[in-house]
Chains A and B, each alone.
Chain A
Amino acid sequence: MIRASFGKGSALLTSNAALLSSRLQPVVVTQLSHTSTRSQTEDIAYKEMEEFWDKNRRLNRPLSPHLRIYNPELTSMLSLCHRATGIAMAVTVPFVAATLLGLPGDFSSYIEYIKDLHLNPAILTAAKYVLAFPICYHYINGIRHLAWDWAIGFDLKTTYQSGYFVMALALLVTAGFVHLL
């Protein structure tokens, strides 16, 4: 409905990363998909929105605190975990793959190298947990997300129950991978 064009009126930016901070209030260029039939009500609404950003920037009002004061809820923490594990995997898997492609020898020689370091088994187990948890958690929570895409399990009780279940199952499967494989 609205696409924002940044300051210099250059290319329309649609990437999420660039729009991280809402302090970067861009000039809101309303390029609607149905501009020709936009009703008077919508016109008034968009005008009010522009005035809101202009006024608040001009008055230099403070923004009320958010991250540092809001309660960490199960809902937001599990969602954060899903995002963090997703990003972690999306970054490390290609990076490791590309690195191994470039380095001499295959991965078994590097496994041998780690074995020869004779590290404390506790450190190795911890490392295995760190490697196994993201994929287990993200996969199982992914199923919960798929259910939500079909609008199943949205009531608060089910959300909380499924949340606890997903976390417990993810930890269980991770432990299974680490100790049984």
Chain B
Amino acid sequence: MSTPTVMKLGPVRRSLVQLMQTRCAQTSAATAPEPARMKKFAVYRWDPEKPGDKPKMQTYEVDLNTCGPMVLDALIKIKNEMDPTLTFRRSCREGICGSCSMNIGGSNTLACLCKIDDNLGKATKIYPLPHMYVIKDLVPDMSNFYAQYRSIEPYLKKKDGSDKNIGDKQYLQTTGDRAKLDGLYECILCACCSTSCPSYWWNSDKYLGPAVLMQAYRWMVDSRDDYTSERLFQMEDRFSVYRCHTIMNCTKTCPKGLNPGLAIGEIKKMLAKYNSKEAKQLAQA
């Protein structure tokens, strides 16, 4: 880069110009076009607005070189550039909101945390969460799941009437008691676990499912909550807890690495040990 024009500059300016020229040359060399890496995505589609429409699979091809690494990136790219009618839930794109839960490659997970499989020979299959009523494309009806969560009363309940003076004092808890909540409170209610459970598939009306049961356990085991016996007594029937046959699909599929199967096992242990007669009296008092 030592053209006559450049050589006329003072030494500092010359070296600066030469540096800029070298860097521009490097950048232009780096952005030379790479061969496109086309990956197929087979996505479940169903449109309620089309009369007589049947659910079917639609295949899209995405160039992985111009797409982010996660399946959600691919879905957004498809929606933006190829098919705006593709419908799915999404929000945080970082695995904390639980919106984009779906069945990818046969397992339930969050699309924003699921890396696209680099194998270009195989299509990635994307389905909505299994055995759920489909509102449209990849969007399931979650109302039943939320209603079941509501039914376990997932909030602190005290017996000493202190809710009249809520906020006056902290409810103290030892570090040991707080540690009992680790692995339980992190649940983002994405429903991946419940919809991976065959027992929940067959009995989603009466069996609560791993997600809701883990949250029930979270409140049972919270030292600040006074209604442990009553919460356990609520589970005294054939279906709410006891449809769990320890299949353990839930723990396998949890995208946050939590263990609902363990929580349910602990509930069953507590149900065996607690004083149910006392709880019945308390509940009917």
Name A's B-contacting residues (CB within 8 A).
1-4, 14, 19-22, 25, 28, 33-34, 36-37, 39, 41-42, 44-46, 48-49, 51-53, 56, 59, 61-66, 69-71, 73-76, 79, 83, 145, 148-151, 154-156, 159
Contacts and interface: CB of A to CB of B under 8 A. Distances in A.
B50 interface: no
Nearest to B240: A1
B44 A71 contact: no
Contacts of A149: 265, 268-269
Contacts of A34: 230, 233-234, 280, 283-284
Given A63-B134, A69-B103, A39 B248 contact: no
Interface residues of B, number: 65
Contact of A73 (B141, B233, B249, B280): B249
Contacts, number: 170
Interface in B255-285: 259, 261-262, 265-266, 268-269, 280, 283-285
Nearest to A61: B133
B107 A151 contact: no
A46 B253 CA distance: 28
Contacts of B151: 41-42, 45-46, 49
Interface of B: 44, 46, 48, 54-55, 103, 105-107, 125, 127-135, 140-141, 143-144, 146-148, 150-151, 153, 196, 198, 201-206, 230, 233-240, 245-249, 251-253, 259, 261-262, 265-266, 268-269, 280, 283-285
Contacts of B262: 151, 154-155
A61 B203 contact: no
Contacts of B203: 19, 22
Contacts of A159: 248, 251-252, 261
Contacts of A73: 107, 249, 252-253
Nearest to B197: A76
A156 B265 CA distance: 14
Kindly name the residue among B144, B266, B280 whose own CB sees the greatest number of chain A CB atoms within 10 A. B144
Q: Which 8 A-B pairs give the minimum distances between C-beta atoms?
A: A71-B106, A45-B151, A48-B147, A154-B262, A66-B130, A75-B248, A45-B150, A151-B265
A44 B251 CA distance: 30
Contact of B283 (A19, A37, A53): A37
A20 B203 CA distance: 8
5 contacts: A22-B205, A45-B148, A52-B143, A59-B48, A76-B198
A64 B205 CA distance: 16
B150 A44 contact: yes
Nearest to B251: A156
A41 B240 CA distance: 17
Given A22-B203, A69-B106, A145 B246 contact: yes
Contacts of A79: 245-248
Nearest to B183: A155
B125 A1 contact: no
A34 B259 CA distance: 30
A159 B248 CA distance: 8
B106 A70 contact: yes
A156 B253 CA distance: 10
Nearest to B46: A62
A20 B54 CA distance: 25
Kindly name the residue among A28, A44, A75, A149 whose own CB sees the greatest number of chain B CB atoms within 10 A. A75
A71 B107 contact: yes
Contacts of B198: 66, 76
B147 A49 contact: yes
Contacts of B266: 151
B247 A53 contact: no
B217 to A, nearest CB: 11
Contact of A25 (B130, B141, B143, B205): B205
Contact of A69 (B127, B150, B269): B127
B221 to A, nearest CB: 12
Contacts of A75: 247-249, 251-252
